[in-house]
């Protein structure tokens, strides 16, 4: 004889404490929940609306500079430390957690064009329009006002940017040519030039440490290996590039900020065509920086906006702007992947959230689970028209909005003209050119 017993485990329905919520039994059989999908869609819609309600990305502004901020540098090990350089030759060290200036240096006569820090964070370097490179001890705790540089190198030409090697005591500068320096020498150990009179920026790869890239005045991007005596490869674009940034996780991938309002992501092994063209800005893109994950990057533009792009997406997922913010000249993404720091022409450094609707500070487990559940639902229904429209909508400054409308009209006119020429020409006389290849003029090795 078989006896069927009913067994109830108290852990399934008894609260652990009096303040805990009551545990509700639930059967996950889909046949018992015919309205599950409509219910989840309603929750996803509410979650999307609440995300836009709570999207307040601006956190604070750091005042203290007396001229436009054109150079920013992150501390390699401390999240809360930032270095900034202004057009009046002043360099400041900031504590972002306390929102205060730790130290001020009177560094250069004229613009500070670049700041970089060595990997051990014991010193930092700066260059400017006064043809001088200076080495500084990193000592923000000292009480000495306007400390002196530990070494000053007077160059023959002006310098436009500077970057330090991620492992070796070596740094590179750009100007009339690209120079590679040893930290202990007063003369460059190597100099590179490839038929151009000036370079705008230079950047070491964080993965392949000996690889170097520069953007030149002849609209070209040039790649170097500091173990060789000559440049490796060169690609010429339709317009000049203002800055280069390497992907921190993918060794061969880099992105350039271009004067034609776009950003181009390249694979250094295949320079004849960019991997992706990132559009949405309506002014020249001045600066960019990758997130530590390598999945996203942030760009700063002359159109007074900041945009966040997914590395594999052609359009931005977020745009930041304020009424007072002018041309944004420098941008950085913090090493904890939570904050964005921007420097602009109206003398302010601004601190933003990387996720506009993210709640900062401690959260209870239930609250965190609810937010994660909402994110999953938004991802599940992200292609539904109503949710897609609400998530994508952004308010823009009137000049940017009008410029976008005008660009659409110009683009439609060009496409119509090209279609008419193709229709009234011999077959093959007007070839189809992909959007990616339109920006490439020439490739040289």
**pLDDT tens figures, 99-158:** 999 999 999 998 999 999 998 889 999 999 999 999 999 888 877 777 888 999 998 888
> Which two three-digit tokens encode residue 16?
């652990």
Contact 21, 13 (CB under 8 A): no
442 bridge partner residues:
236
Nearest-angstrom CA–CA distance, 256 and 327: 18
| pLDDT above 80 (res 1) | no
| pLDDT above 90 (res 421) | yes
- Strand segments, DSSP code E, in 323-400 are 328-333, 339-344, 349-353
| pLDDT above 90 (res 306) | yes
Q: Percentage of the chain with pLDDT > 70?
A: 100
Count how many Cα atoms sit within 13 Å of the Cα of residue 370 in the half-sphere of its side chain: 11
In degrees, rounded to 5, the angle at the alpha carbon of residue 242 between the alpha carbons of residues 241 and 247 is 85
Look at residue 238 in the predicted model and tell me its pLDDT: 92
Among the residue ranges 21-25, 123-127, 277-281, the one predicted with the least confidence is: 21-25
| pLDDT above 80 (res 353) | yes
Does this model's pTM top 0.85?
A: yes
Look at residue 148 in the predicted model and tell me its pLDDT: 86
Q: How many other C-beta atoms can be found within 10 angstroms of the C-beta atom of residue 272?
A: 11
Look at residue 268 in the predicted model and tell me its pLDDT: 92
Q: What is the rounded end-to-end Cα distance, in angstroms, of the chain? A: 87
30-37's contacts with Cβ under 8 Å and 24+ in sequence apart are: none
Q: Mean pLDDT across the stretch 247-262?
A: 94
Nearest-angstrom CA–CA distance, 294 and 22: 42
Q: Mean pLDDT across the stretch 404-419?
A: 95
Categorize the per-residue pLDDT at 400 as very low, low, confident or very high, splitting at 50, 70 and 90.
Answer: very high
Residue 95 CA: distances (Å) to CA of 191, 211, 300, 351, 354: 36, 32, 22, 12, 19
Categorize the per-residue pLDDT at 4 as very low, low, confident or very high, splitting at 50, 70 and 90.
Answer: confident
Categorize the per-residue pLDDT at 293 as very low, low, confident or very high, splitting at 50, 70 and 90.
Answer: very high
Categorize the per-residue pLDDT at 375 as very low, low, confident or very high, splitting at 50, 70 and 90.
Answer: very high
In degrees, rounded to 5, the angle at the alpha carbon of residue 112 between the alpha carbons of residues 346 and 234 is 110
Look at residue 309 in the predicted model and tell me its pLDDT: 96
Nearest-angstrom CA–CA distance, 209 and 418: 45
Q: Mean pLDDT across the stretch 379-387?
A: 95
Look at residue 3 in the predicted model and tell me its pLDDT: 82
Look at residue 139 in the predicted model and tell me its pLDDT: 85
User: What is 109-177 written as a DSSP string?
Assistant: SS-EEEEEE-TTSSEEEEEETTSEEEEEE--TT---SSPPPSEEEE-SS---EEEE-SSSSEEEEESSS
In degrees, rounded to 5, the angle at the alpha carbon of residue 291 between the alpha carbons of residues 289 and 292 is 125
Residue 208 CA: distances (Å) to CA of 205, 248, 249, 275: 5, 10, 10, 19
> Which two three-digit tokens encode residue 320?
């930041």
Look at residue 196 in the predicted model and tell me its pLDDT: 79
Q: Mean pLDDT across the stretch 52-58?
A: 94
Q: For residue 348, give the nearest of 67, 72, 57 by alpha carbon.
A: 67
């Amino acid at each position: 004889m078989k006896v069927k017993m009913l067994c109830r485990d108290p852990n399934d329905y008894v609260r652990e404490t009096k303040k805990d919520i009551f545990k509700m039994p639930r059967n996950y059989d889909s046949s018992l929940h015919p309205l599950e999908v409509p219910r989840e869609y309603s929750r996803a819609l509410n979650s999307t609306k609440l995300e836009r309600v709570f999207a307040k990305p601006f956190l604070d502004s750091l005042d203290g500079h007396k001229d436009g901020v054109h150079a920013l540098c992150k501390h390699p090990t401390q999240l809360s430390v930032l270095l900034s350089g202004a057009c009046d030759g002043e360099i400041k060290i900031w504590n972002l957690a306390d929102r205060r200036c730790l130290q001020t240096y009177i560094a250069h006569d004229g613009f500070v064009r670049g700041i970089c820090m060595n990997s051990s964070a014991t010193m930092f370097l700066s260059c400017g329009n006064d043809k001088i490179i200076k080495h500084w001890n990193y000592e923000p705790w000292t009480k000495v006002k306007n400390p002196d540089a530990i070494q000053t190198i007077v160059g023959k030409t002006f310098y436009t940017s500077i970057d330090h090697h991620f492992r070796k005591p070596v740094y590179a500068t750009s100007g009339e040519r690209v120079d590679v320096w040893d930290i202990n020498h007063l003369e460059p150990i190597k100099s590179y030039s490839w038929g151009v009179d000036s370079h705008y920026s230079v950047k070491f790869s964080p993965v392949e440490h000996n690889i170097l890239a520069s953007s030149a005045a002849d609209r070209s991007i040039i790649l170097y290996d500091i173990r060789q005596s000559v440049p490796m490869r060169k690609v010429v674009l339709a317009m000049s590039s203002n800055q280069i940034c390497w992907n921190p996780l993918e060794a061969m991938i880099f992105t350039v900020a271009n004067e034609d309002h776009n950003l181009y992501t390249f694979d250094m092994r295949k320079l004849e065509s960019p991997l992706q063209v990132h559009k949405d800005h309506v002014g020249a893109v001045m600066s960019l920086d990758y997130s530590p994950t390598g999945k996203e990057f942030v760009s700063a533009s002359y159109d007074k906006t900041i945009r966040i792009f997914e590395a594999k997406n052609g359009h931005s997922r977020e745009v930041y702007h304020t009424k007072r913010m002018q041309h944004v000249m420098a941008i950085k993404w913090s090493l904890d992947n939570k904050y964005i720091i921007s420097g602009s022409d109206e003398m302010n450094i601004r601190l933003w959230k990387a996720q506009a609707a993210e709640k900062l500070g401690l959260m209870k487990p239930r609250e965190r689970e609810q937010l994660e559940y909402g994110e999953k639902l938004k991802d599940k229904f992200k292609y539904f028209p109503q949710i897609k429209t609400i998530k994508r909508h952004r308010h823009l400054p009137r000049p940017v909005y009008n410029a976008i409308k005008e660009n659409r009209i110009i683009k439609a006119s060009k496409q119509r003209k090209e279609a008419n020429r193709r229709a009234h020409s011999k077959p093959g006389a007007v070839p189809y050119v992909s959007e990616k290849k339109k920006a490439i003029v020439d490739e040289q090795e």
